[in-house]
Structure 1
Amino acid sequence: MARIIRFHQHGGPEVLRIEEVDLPPPGPGEVQIRVKALGLNRAEALLRAGSYIETPVLPSGLGLEAAGVIEAIGEGVMGLAHGDAVSVIPPQSMVRWPAYGELVTFPAGLIVKHPASLDWQTAAAVWMPYLTAYGALIDIARLRREEVVVITAASSSVGLAAIQIANSVGAITIAVTRTSVKRQALLDAGAAHVVVLEEEELADRLNQIAGPQGVRVVLDAIGGPIFEPLTAAMSRGGILIEYGGLSSQPTPFPLPAVLGKALTLRGYLVHEITGNPEKLEAAKAFILEGLADGALRPIIDRIFPFDRIVEAHRYLESNGQFGKIVVTV
């Protein structure tokens, strides 16, 4: 028997339940992991609330990131062994492959033997943020040295990963945040500049920082009215990559800027990387190298025990965190 976390109805954090189940052994091509730590993501709160892109059959498990020790290996799995310390690449479906549990099963292709320098909590905080940021900035935008990149929702785990990845290639990072509370923390985390939405006019401030070259790359998780000032500050031929939708307000289409500057507005999900073996291998190599040389290092905000998953989800939805929320098992 193993404890897992499920929900039997959509709702707030209180619908999460810890239940004991008898899990089958891993099937062909699968690996079963004794989990040590979980990384929390906003997608899990959306699934729980019934507003995610995936519709679960209830009761449903959830979770996208985990780190732990291999407990059992299914037929045909090569290169992995019982006792290996591993972490999990986010699956295409967390309903099919949920991570919230003491014991979880995943396809072997989503299992990574992580660097020995990482503790369990850090290893559980790697793959979703860094794969998301890598796919947007490196694979799609081809971000280059000395280019200006704007990163909204910059204090999120993806935002902080994006700052580190942009810095690793020599780009100039502008972190956008709602209030001044996290300004210094963002500068300490490596942002070259910070723009505070409640205190500064976004387009003017971006133009002031970027100068004549303008902003070629924008990584946005918000949408809504922010689209207009963001595109107003972009350079000709620039690209805005949208990977979220945190704003509850309508997102206008900035037609004059898009036409006048030949801009690209592009939707993006991390599945573009995780679902493409060639791109995933390139991403893993980039991230593992960055972890090894210290250029990349997950920032963990708070750690909760498994039994306090409801409290961890409440904190996730408070938007008060700086970096990743982790749950130890």
Structure 2
Amino acid sequence: MSQQAAVGDAAAPATMRAVVVTRPGGLDALEVRDVPVPVREPGWVRIRVRAFGVNESEVTTRKGESDGEVTYPRVPGIEGVGVVEEADEGSGLRPGQRVATMMGGMGRSYDGSYAQYVTVPAGQVIPFETDLPWEVVGALPEMFQTAYGSLTTGLDLRAGQTLLIRGGTSTVGLSAAALAKELGATVLATTRHPGRAQDLRAVGVDHPVVDDGSIAEQIRSLVPGGVDAALELVGCSALPDTLKCVRMHGTVCFTGALGGAWSIPAFSPFMIPFGVRLTSYGGEAGDLPAPVFQQQLQAVAEGRLKAPVAKVYHGLEQVQDAQADLEDGTTPGKHVVVLDD
């Protein structure tokens, strides 16, 4: 890699505070430590982290259930927002600029955002401008990227169409509902708990559906011909039933497996109803263009788009609490950690 000139504060502190997963284990495997500030390589950007969302992926890393790319000790964190500290000259990024970053191996193959500083490849940095507080912006990157990519790349959803979200009270499900309503779609979304129907209505869902494992009859009673599109977030245990909810030439996009099932034993293509299309989505930061993220932030600022924040935590010392609350699952929405000055 050729050496490039850099812009920014090259005299970063020698050490920083970070949450380190010392070994696979329980919440006590998350330790707040003083560690060296990561060295920025050419083509990478050093970001001062101001907030980050807490995700199931990081719980998986902490438990040692990720694939072989994760080694320990590791600073977890697959997303974060903050300000540019240093970048290559000519990168288009300037010191102090607000940016978001996510995915691309963060917190898995290299240290992630549970820290005061993180370095990431420039290609997965999304610049933005907003007056929204960090705790709101910190909730958005990963869930908006996944929801946006599923609705566009996965489903090609259009205004006036009907969308079913299976797993509606998940962070991606809530985000997808809000984005779909902003687009002009009619949204049906599921929850296993009748008491959470109001959480779905709060983000604009037109028809909350209580999921007892078999919802095709309910969906067909609401949309007799079948919905135009369905976003599968529960997983392969629900997928055959979700496919039955979709009209001929409609599409199902498999994006997540909240139920834990990523495959179907003895799968047969004839399980797919005739004429129904099945695809999948699993993208990266580059799938959320900066202008689109900026539009989403503007919509949140104007109140047209709801950011589903479950709870805000202050400081790295509260990361254990955030992961515990995420695993508990009693509050739908994103758990966000803010690093105060």
Fold conserved between structures, TM > 0.5? yes
Query: Higher mean Cα deviation, 20-29 or 153-162?
Result: 20-29
Residue number in structure 2 paired with 1:327 = 337
How far apart are residue 162 of structure 1 and its match? Answer: 0.3
How far apart are residue 312 of structure 1 and its match? Answer: 0.9
Q: Deviations over 1:179-216 (max 9, x none)?
A: 11210121121101101124x9511111011122x122
Counting matched residue pairs gives 318
Q: Does 1:238 align with 2:250?
A: yes
- Could you list the runs of 5+ residues in structure 2 that have no partner in the other structure? 1-14
Secondary structure of 2:312 counterpart: strand
Change (3 A) 1:195 1:217: same
Secondary structure of 1:154 counterpart: coil
Correspondent of 1:48 among 45, 62, 66: 62
Residue number in structure 2 paired with 1:81 = 94
Whole-Å Cα distance in 1 between the matches of residues 249 and 67 of structure 2?
30
1:22-33 superposed matches below 5 A:
22-33=36-47
Q: Deviations over 1:222-246 (max 9, x none)?
A: 1243223211221112222112222
Correspondent of 1:219 among 216, 222, 231: 231
Change (3 A) 1:27 1:108: same
Whole-Å Cα distance in 1 between the matches of residues 317 and 251 of structure 2?
43
Measured on the aligned residues, the alpha-carbon RMSD in Å equals 2.2
How far apart are residue 255 of structure 1 and its match? Answer: 5.2
- Structure 2 length normalisation: TM-score? 0.86
Whole-Å Cα distance in 2 between the matches of residues 248 and 110 of structure 1?
28
Correspondent of 1:132 among 146, 153, 177: 146
Contact 2:177 2:204 (8 Å CA) reproduced: yes
How far apart are residue 115 of structure 1 and its match? Answer: 2.6
Correspondent of 1:179 among 173, 193, 200: 193
Residue number in structure 2 paired with 1:16 = 30
Q: Deviations over 1:84-109 (max 9, x none)?
A: 22222333443224111011112223
Whole-Å Cα distance in 2 between the matches of residues 223 and 254 of structure 1?
16
Whole-Å Cα distance in 1 between the matches of residues 32 and 171 of structure 2?
26
Residue number in structure 1 paired with 2:292 = 286
Correspondent of 1:266 among 267, 276, 279: 279
Residue number in structure 1 paired with 2:222 = 209
Residue number in structure 2 paired with 1:228 = 240
Q: Does 1:191 align with 2:205?
A: yes
- Could you list the runs of 5+ residues in structure 1 that have no partner in the other structure? none
Q: Deviations over 1:116-155 (max 9, x none)?
A: 2221111111111111111111122111122111112212
Residue number in structure 1 paired with 2:323 = 313
Whole-Å Cα distance in 1 between the matches of residues 74 and 32 of structure 2?
12
Whole-Å Cα distance in 2 between the matches of residues 17 and 191 of structure 1?
39
> What stretches of structure 1 move > 3 A for 4+ residues in a row?
74-77, 248-257, 293-297
- Structure 1 length normalisation: TM-score? 0.89
